[in-house]
Amino acid sequence: MTLPVTFVEVVEVRRITPRTARIAFAAEELPDTVGTAPDQQLKLCFPRPGQREPVLPARQDDPMGWYQAYLAIPEAERPVMRSFTLRRRRPGTRLVEVDFVLHGDTGPAAAWALRAAPGDRLGMVGPSALYAPPVAFTEAAAAADWVLLAGDETALPALATLVEALPEGERVCAWIEVADRAERQDLESRADLEVEWLYRDGAAPGTVLTEAFRDAVLPEGEPFVWLAGEAGAVRTIRRHLVERQGVPKENIDFTGYWRHRLTQDDAPTAEDLADAQERVAGY
């Protein structure tokens, strides 16, 4: 299965909250079969200073070969790359929507999104069904007594697609940490969904969510848990659920999307590598 590698062009920019921009891109090429499942990852390639558009890696027949092709681009020309979750592909089109958390002018993705306008061009690697877990997720959710989804605003795009995919009658709780009340988003679901919004109001990222778990009395029955967001908070919550709440490790799907005070370009820490090894073992 070939991973899509294509240019995308901005066609629409909307502020869905004060700190979140939803940007619609028109892809030059995108197979009809991708981008329709929940929780699909993609990577956006941002141009270097002075470039109108980024240099993209050459296409490969091997679905993982694109990364070696990316590394083969001379460093001075190699695009800055960041990972995102596809929020939506508009049916019957090559239009895709991606949500950007606007956390200031310090990171390449947020800085670009603050100034994004129709006509701006990026590169996109993915999305691909290779990285979409809808069958495993929905089967695990159906086998559990109830479902718990938890994360911060970086997890909201994936979380929203997951609750949209769950069937009627599924009991689902979502705990979501955001900066303040203005960052709430409407979530649509056929499931029996209860949402608990948690506001940082100036607190450090992840602290409000971890405190909520520390003090929580969970519903009866065995849950299936999906966790995503700041890596340290995800790690702490997972340990609490396993060690204090008795949730089996295999019932927790967890991902650290970002790291406080570190970027995606920084080397993984020992804890990052241990988390990755546990995720692989869980699959």
Residue 269's pLDDT band (cuts 50, 70, 90):
low
Q: Do 148 and 271 belong together in one domain?
A: yes
Q: Do 139 and 91 belong together in one domain?
A: no
Q: What is the CATH number of the domain that holds 94?
A: 2.40.30.10
Of 130, 151, 175, which residue constitutes the final position of a domain? 130
- pLDDT, position 1: 56
Q: Do 239 and 144 belong together in one domain?
A: yes
Asked if pLDDT for residue 263 goes beyond 80, the answer is no
Of 104, 130, 156, which residue constitutes the final position of a domain? 130
Of 99, 130, 161, which residue constitutes the final position of a domain? 130
Give 10-20 pLDDT, tens digit per residue: 999 999 999 99
CB neighbours of 272 closer than 8 A, spacing ≥ 6?
Answer: 231, 256, 259
Residue 265's pLDDT band (cuts 50, 70, 90):
low
Q: Do 95 and 173 belong together in one domain?
A: no
Q: Do 113 and 205 belong together in one domain?
A: no
**What share of the chain has pLDDT > 90, as a percent?**
72
Backbone dihedral region for residue 162 (phi beyond 0: left; psi -120 to 50: alpha; all else: beta): alpha
Q: Do 119 and 170 belong together in one domain?
A: no
Q: Do 257 and 269 belong together in one domain?
A: yes
Asked if pLDDT for residue 283 goes beyond 50, the answer is no
Give 127-181 pLDDT, tens digit per residue: 876 655 555 777 888 889 999 999 999 999 999 999 999 999 999 999 999 999 9
Judge contact between 213 and 241, C-beta under 8 A.
Answer: yes
Residue 278's pLDDT band (cuts 50, 70, 90):
low
Q: What is the CATH number of the domain that holds 165?
A: 3.40.50.80
Q: Do 117 and 23 belong together in one domain?
A: yes
Q: Do 45 and 143 belong together in one domain?
A: no
- pLDDT, position 280: 46
28-32, 38-42, 105-109, 197-201 — which one is most confidently predicted on average? Answer: 197-201
Q: Which domain range does residue 191 map to?
A: 133-282
Cβ neighbours around 41 below 10 Å, total: 18
Which of 109, 182, 111, 187 lies closest to 155 in space, CA to CA?
187
Q: Do 150 and 245 belong together in one domain?
A: yes
Give the neighbor-by-neighbor strand order of the sheet with 171-178: 192-199, 171-178, 146-152, 223-230, 252-258
Number of domains in the chain: 2
Asked if pLDDT for residue 72 goes beyond 90, the answer is yes
Give 73-130 pLDDT, tens digit per residue: 999 999 999 999 999 999 999 999 999 999 877 789 999 999 999 999 999 999 876 6
Cα separations in angstroms, 194 against 32, 147, 180: 33, 10, 19
Mean per-residue pLDDT for 50-74? Answer: 88
Query: Is the N-terminal amide bond of 127 cis, ω within 30° of 0?
Result: yes
